Structure 1
Amino acid sequence: MATVQVSEAEKVYILHGVRDDLRVDGRGCEDYRHMEIETEMVSNTDGSAKVTLGHTDVLVGVKAEMGKPRPMVPGEGYLEFFVDCSANATPEFEGRGGDELGMELSNTLYKVFNNRHSVDLKSLCISPGEHCWVLYVDVLLLQCDGNLFDAISVAIKAALFNTKIPKVHISEDEEGGKEIELSDDPYDCMRLNVENVPCIVTLCKVGHRHVVDATLQEKACSVASLIISVTRKGTVTCVRKVGGGSLDPESIFEMTETGKRVGKALHAPLMQLLQEEESLGKKRQKVGFLG
C-alpha cells in the first residue's frame, strides 16, 4: 500500500481537525472527495469505466468469454478478478512491489462481488452444466492517493453497468447436438442488472473518530480501518478489518452504522448518473458524492 511520511505536528493538526469534524481539505468526517466517472474507456472490452477520486485513478475493463460452469453451481456463471498496480501510481509498485497489494485487492473483490447476492449469476448461464459467461474483470490502478477499495468498487459497478454481452442462440443439429451461435449485432445484447451490486465504504479510525474516504496523510494517522460493502438497501455483504491496530466493539458498531448510511447514500446518485449518461449518449460525467 502506498504510504507517506507525516510529522508529529501534522498528525496533531489532522487529529484535532477530525475531532472537530473539519478535515484538512475542508470536508466533514463522512464526506467524499470529488468523484469523476467515465465509461466506455477501452474499446476492446465489453464494458469499461474509469473513476477518479481525489488523485486516485482506477481503470476497470470487463471482458465476457464463454466458459464452463463450476461443478457446484452448474446453473450460474462467475466473475474473475485481476488487479494490476501500475508502477506509475507510486514508486513502491516498481518491479513486483504491487503484487501483494494486487492479491489483497483481488481476494477482497471476490468476497464482495462474486456471489449471487451481488450479481445475478444465473443470468450468465447459457446452458446449465455446459456453457456460461465468465466475466473477466481487470482492474488497473493508475494513481494512488488513498481509498482504493471505494474507488475500485464504484468503477466495477460502472463497468458492469456498461457491459454488453452478446445474445446467444442455441439450436439442435440433425444429430441432436447443440449448436451455439453468437449474435454479431452490437444492439442484440444482454445487459446486467447492477442494482444490487454493492459499493465499498472504507472507514479509518483517526483518534476517537472515524473518517470516510481518507487521504494518504489521514491514513498515516489511522490505527486501523474497516472495509464495508453495502447494497442500495443498506445491507452489509462483507466486513473486513485492515491495519495493524485494534478496534473495540463500540467503534466497530459505530463504523458499521456509518458505513451503511454512507454506502446507501452512494447508490442512488451513482445509478442516476450512469442512466443519464447512457440515455444522453455522453462519455463523460462529473459528480461529487457526499455521505
Structure 2
Amino acid sequence: MSLCEAEKTFILHGVAENFRVDGRDREGYRPIELETDIVQHAFGSARLRLASTDILASVKIEIDTPLPEKPFEGKIEFFVDCSANATPDFEGRGGEQLAIELANILTSAYSAPQTLDLRELCILKGEKCWKLYVDILVLECGGNLYDAISLAVKAALFNTQVPKINNMTIDGENVDIDVSENLLDCRRLNVKHAPILVTVCKIGEHCIVDPSLEEEQCMMSSVVVAVSNNHFSTITSMGSLHEETLFECLNLGHKVAVRLNQTLIETLEKMPQNQDVGFLK
C-alpha cells in the first residue's frame, strides 16, 4: 500500500494536532486481543492481535547442556517466520531478512541479566539444563511488528509450564533424568521482568508509538527500545536522530513500556485458561 502526498500530509497534520487518523493520541495503542494456551503440543503459547497485526508464539522445551561460562543457567532461543500471506512484501523470500532482524533484537533484549532469570532453568550445574525454543509466526502484518511480537512472546512465556524433575541418577559422566509425565505437575516461569519492545517513530516534529502501516510510511526515523524492570535492555535506532529527539524517544518509549507491561501482566494473571480477552492501552 502506497500513500499519495495528500494522504501523508493529512497524517502529518493529525500527529501535529495530537489527533491521529484513527482517533488516538500520540501515546495511544490500537486495540489488543490476546489468547493463550492455544497450541496443543507446545509447553506454552499465545496469539496476539494488535489491530490487524496478528502474531502466534509458542514455546518448546528440551534438555540441553549449559554453556561452560554459564553453568548455572539454562538457554533461550528465538525463531521468527514471516508468513507469505502476512503481506505481499513477504512473498517468496521477502520476509527472511526481517525475520532475522526480529529474532536478533529479541535475543539482544533477553540477553540482559535483569530480564529473564535463566537460573530457573538449571537442572544440574554444568551438566543439564532446560532450553526454551520460542517460535514466532507473523500471520498478518498491520504495522508495529516489534511491539506485537514482544507482547506475544512474553504472554507465551507466562503461559509456559516447565516439567518437574522427579529424580536424577548420576553415573560417572552419565546423568539420567526422570521427568514427571503428569501434565499438572509443572511450574511457571517468572516473566515479570521479561522485556517489552516499544517502537517510537518521529513523524514531523513529534514522536508517536504503535505506528500503523500508513504512519510507518510517513516516519522520518524510529527507535525500538526494550524495557525490563524499568531499565533499557537494548536500544535499536533506525535512521538518524538529533540528540534531543533521541532522548525524547527514549523517555516516551520507557513510559509507554512500563504502562504496557503492567497492563499485560495484570491481564495475564486475571485471564482464565483457554479464553479470549482483550485490553486497551
The bucket for the TM-score relative to the shorter chain is over 0.9
Identify the residue that residue 93 of structure 1 maps to in structure 2.
90
Amino acid across the alignment from 1:141: V
Counterparts of 1:228 and 1:178, CA distance in 2: 41
Q: CA deviation at 1:284?
A: 1.1
Tell whether 2:123 aligns with 1:131.
no
Q: Distance in 1 between matches of 2:172 and 2:58?
A: 39
Question: 1:219 aligns to what?
Answer: 216
Q: Deviation digits for residues 84-143 of structure 1, max 9, x if unmatched?
A: 000010122112111100001011010012343211100101111111111000000000
Does the aligned pair in 2 maintain the 1:203–1:225 contact within 8 Å?
yes
Compute the displacement of 1:176 (Å). 9.4
Match of 1:236 in 2: 232
Kindly indicate whether the alpha-carbon contact (under 8 Å) linking 1:115 and 1:121 is maintained by their aligned counterparts in 2. Answer: no
> Contact (CA 8 Å) 1:79, 1:114: kept in 2 or not?
no
Q: Which aligned pairs between 1:184-263 and structure 2 lie closer than 5 A? A: 184-231=181-228, 233-242=229-238, 245-263=239-257
Aligned residues: 281
1:275 aligned to which of 247, 254, 269: 269
Q: What is the aligned counterpart of 1:284 among 271, 276, 280? A: 276
State, as a whole percentage, how many aligned pairs show the same letter. 44
**Shift in Å at residue 173 of structure 1?**
6.1
Aligned to 2:65: 68
2:101 to 97, 101, 104: 104
Distance in 2 (CA, whole Å) between partners of 1:174 and 1:138 is 35
Match of 1:79 in 2: 76
Partner of 1:56: 53
For the 8 Å contact 1:51–1:59, the answer to whether it is kept is yes
Match of 1:46 in 2: 43
Unaligned runs of 5+ in 1: none
| AA aligned opposite 1:89 | A
> Deviation at 1:48?
0.2
Using the alignment, how far apart are the partners of 1:56 and 1:117 within structure 2?
29
1:53-100 superposed Cα distances (whole Å, 9 cap, x missing partner): 010000000001111111211111111111000001012211211110
Give the one of 158, 162, 166 matched to 2:159. Answer: 162
Quote the offset at 1:171 in angstroms: 3.2
Q: 1:175 to 1:141 in 2, by over 3 A?
A: closer
Q: CA RMSD in A?
A: 1.5
TM-score (norm 2): 0.96
CA–CA separation in structure 1 for the residues paired with 2:150 and 2:168: 38
Structure 2 distance, partners of 1:63, 1:45, is: 6
How far apart are the structure 1 equivalents of 2:171 and 2:231?
50
Following TM superposition, by how much is the alpha carbon of 1:175 offset from its aligned partner in structure 2, in angstroms? 7.4
TM-score (norm. length: structure 1): 0.93
Question: Can you list the C-alpha shifts for 1:189-216, whole angstroms capped at 9, x where unaligned?
Answer: 1210011111111001100001100011
